[in-house]
Amino acid sequence: MVRQKLSEEEILNNKGIEYVNRGNIIKAVKLLHASLSQNPNFAPAYFNLGNVYFMQDKLNRASVYYRKAIAKNYNFAKAYYNLAYVQQSLGFLPQAITYYKKYIEFDLHDARAYNNLAVALQDKGKIHEALYYFKKVLAIDSDNAVANNNLGAILCNNGEYEVSKKYFKKAIKYGSNFAEPFYNLGNVYHIEGRYKDAIFYYKQALEVKIDYHEALNSLGKAYEDLDMVTKARDYYLAALAIKSDFEPALAQLVHLERYICDWKEVTKHSKLLDKLTLKSLRDKRELGELPFMSITRSDNLSKHKRIAVARSRIIESRAKDMMTSTFDLRHSKNRRIIRLGYITNDFNDHPVAHLTKNMFSLHDRKKFEVYVYSYGFDLENKYIKKVIQGADKFTNLASCSFVEAAETINKDRIDILIDLKGHTKDERLIINALRPAPIQVTYLGFPGTLGADFIDYNIVDRVIVPKEKETYYTEKLVIMPDCYQINDHTQEISLTKTKKTDWGLPETAFVFCSFNKTLKIEPIMFTVWMRILKSVERSVLWLLRSSREAETNLKNEAEKRGVEPHRLIFADRIDLPQHLERLKLADLALDTRIYNGGATTSNALRVGVPVITLAGESYLSRMSASLLTAVGLPDLICHSLKDYKDLATYYATHREELLKLHNKLTRYILTKPLYDSPRFVSKLETAYKIMWKTYLSGNLPRNIILHT
């Protein structure tokens, strides 16, 4: 046998590789360039120079040499792969996709290439093509942990939770030292409300990857959902200790500190969150602070709108990636009856269900059909049963993917789809973003603008959105004539003849109350409340108990302000009919400031308890003002903290005037429009008819102003 002699360029190239392996990069580069001096067309030397620069993280230079290798040898397969990988690392996804596909022409069985190509396609938003290539990986290597995890992640993002779990479990089976599938499986269980299962898998992820800050943050959220707030805070802080500018953990920490009324650090953390949020808005990055957090922290309408728009654009982008074609919306122009679709997951012991549960049955069946969609996992509570009774058709979308849910709505030929959720916890606005109905509306669930191109109308009133504030809404507005809020006129109130001592209230005390969530209580208004208590002898403040930590913190804050802690009395959450009965024991309700009472205020008014409120700038800070106007008591709306304190003190120290106020409220409940649900629904139907007529005429949505 005759051994073929190596050329001079091959010898220099091989020596260059030897020096790379020894770690002598400078010598290696010289030898590789010497190889090219011998033969400028020698592709392997260009390729190896590309590898050297790649090892040094000089990715742009590496790209230059991989391209030169390909220019000298069009069939240099490995150069295509390496060039694709570098382009992907630099964020040049179209180029990466092209080069991976070229490489695959040479090697049809390289699972890594298929996986990387699928990841690039996913990042580019080509979800269907990405799914195809992930499945190609698993056809070659079914035990591939990375591909199983990545395929599961796409399915999870599409709302295909049950199927995604199968792939995450396979990824865990074949890659026990791979943290991501543990984390992703935890996220699915978290979405499903299985918080203990979620915690187990988040902790498994941290066993593999101790500095996994996303898992630490998610652990905090799961513990917060279980009302284990001390543990939740510890995990948020642990996430921030690893990545101090991790916005989601900082946003959750601020939210938690406000929820437990721990005000020692909240100002500092809030300022940092504001700074990071503004930077993310400027850089057009995904925000850590979600719209609901934003509207509850301030009444800055401009900021609310910017954050809502940024979040909705993310949702719209995801929806666009999922769709292969748009829905046919021409289906129902000849139908005489308008088909309404209402969608949320809050048909449980939640204010939205409390307020709307009887609304669906009140629609005029000669003119409307009512379809109701829920994506909640609780279908056994009394509220959803009432909703189902009032609907012409009820559909549970909980187990549907987002596209399947939108397809169901579109196949039902819904004319007007009304979202009752908005940017609140566990939303699926992506269903609306897929545009399954010709007209889409937001109502009640989110008190503000959704900032979304896929929402046409927002149902409000002139008190919560004065004319000069319309510019802060991306939707066209439906201005209801009396009040934005639907109420259930059939709401049951218990009749057990409860008394003050049953709830730990002093028999002779003047009882101020605020049954708003502790999240709504903040230092400025709490200070005013304490001044009111100090001005009114033998008065107490009756509050809703949310957590042991919040109760302790509020009592400590009261003491700091010179009020004996025992004057704050906390009540447990109970069933609504029982709560309404005990609420009658209060003398006067004190509203919160930035985040007003909504259902909380209407509950108090319903049982004859007057509410003092302070009107702010935003929808959220004007809800009680709207309710008081509709019930005929606008004089209880204040416009300064001093007026608020003085008015509450006045009624508490002038019992005859307070009695007159109670009597007036009792009469007005029967005669004013706030609790006239049939009237409200009739007005709402008028708005729906105008929306539909506008659509049929080919005109764009416009503001709709309804009159009394």
Q: Report the CATH number that the domain containing residue 437 is assigned in CATH.
A: 3.40.50.11380
The two tokens of residue 102 are: 């070229």
Cα(46)–Cα(48) distance, integer angstroms: 6
Residue 202: pLDDT above 90? yes
Residue 681 within a domain: no
Mean pLDDT of the chain: 96
Each residue of 549-602: pLDDT tens digit? Answer: 999 999 999 999 999 999 999 999 999 999 999 999 999 999 999 999 999 999
Q: Confidence class of residue 329 from pLDDT cuts 50, 70 and 90? A: confident
Same domain, 648 and 593: yes
Each residue of 19-39: pLDDT tens digit? Answer: 989 989 999 999 999 999 999
Host domain of residue 580: 500-675
- Amino acid making up residue 255: H
Would you state the pLDDT for residue 222? 98
Q: Mean pLDDT throughout 526-538? A: 98
- Amino acid making up residue 129: E
Same domain, 412 and 510: no
Same domain, 451 and 522: no
Would you state the pLDDT for residue 335? 76
Same domain, 454 and 371: yes
Same domain, 476 and 619: no
Cβ neighbourhood burial of 118 (10 Å; 0-12, 13-18, 19+): buried
Distances (CA, A) of 357 to 129, 517, 578: 43, 22, 18
Residue 171 within a domain: no
Number of domains in the chain: 2
Residue 396 pairs in a beta bridge with 374
Q: Mean pLDDT throughout 160-170? A: 97
Same domain, 353 and 441: yes
Residue 369 within a domain: yes
Neighbours of 79 (CB within 10 A): 28
DSSP 239-305: HHHH-TT-HHHHHHHHHHHHHTT--TTHHHHHHHHHHHHHHHHHHTPPPSS-HHHHHHH---HHHHH
Q: Confidence class of residue 669 from pLDDT cuts 50, 70 and 90? A: very high
Residue 455 within a domain: yes
With residue 339 as reference, give the H or E element that holds it. strand 338-344
Distances (CA, A) of 214 to 34, 193, 242: 48, 19, 10
The CATH number of the domain where 658 resides is what?
3.40.50.2000
Same domain, 470 and 552: no
Same domain, 401 and 455: yes
Residue 188 within a domain: no
Closest by Cα among 400, 480, 388 to 436: 400
Q: Confidence class of residue 326 from pLDDT cuts 50, 70 and 90? A: confident
Same domain, 507 and 373: no
Each residue of 242-262: pLDDT tens digit? Answer: 999 999 999 999 999 999 999
Cβ neighbourhood burial of 399 (10 Å; 0-12, 13-18, 19+): middle
Q: Confidence class of residue 333 from pLDDT cuts 50, 70 and 90? A: low
Same domain, 523 and 636: yes
Cβ neighbourhood burial of 554 (10 Å; 0-12, 13-18, 19+): buried
Which one of 480, 509, 534 terminates a domain?
Answer: 480
Q: Mean pLDDT throughout 228-253? A: 97
With residue 147 as reference, give the H or E element that holds it. helix 145-157
Residue 311 within a domain: no
Residue 234 within a domain: no
Each residue of 449-508: pLDDT tens digit? Answer: 999 999 999 999 999 999 999 999 999 999 999 999 999 999 999 999 999 999 999 999
E-strand ranges in 375-415 read: 393-396
Residue 165 within a domain: no
Q: Confidence class of residue 140 from pLDDT cuts 50, 70 and 90? A: very high
Same domain, 421 and 553: no
Same domain, 625 and 591: yes
